[in-house]
Amino acid sequence: MNKTPANTSINMPIEPVYTVKECADKLKVTERTILELIRKQKLRAVKVGREYRITESAINGFIEGKPPTDKKPTRARKKQPS
């Protein structure tokens, strides 16, 4: 009896993920340009520790001119004492 957990994806392809340097090489721009695009929220990226990771779909969306789908999270503000 061979059971696999329900949340395991057997045939689901894994999307490639790039570093800032790899993304810069792919787009033929500098690493600084990639970081600016991330900062300006024109290129979607995930921060892992001190570094960013960019998915292939985020790169393709940027090339096609599609705006990133998710917004930058905002921080909750502390209440000022009345």
Q: What is the pTM assigned to this prediction?
A: 0.69
Counting DSSP H helices and E strands in the chain, the numbers are 3, 3
Domain boundaries, the chain: 17-63
pLDDT in tens, 34-60: 999 999 999 999 999 999 999 999 999
What beta strand segments (E) does the chain contain? 17-18, 46-48, 51-55
- What's residue 3's pLDDT? 61
* C-alpha to C-alpha distance for 15 and 78, rounded to whole angstroms: 39
pLDDT at 71 over 60: no
pLDDT at 69 over 80: no
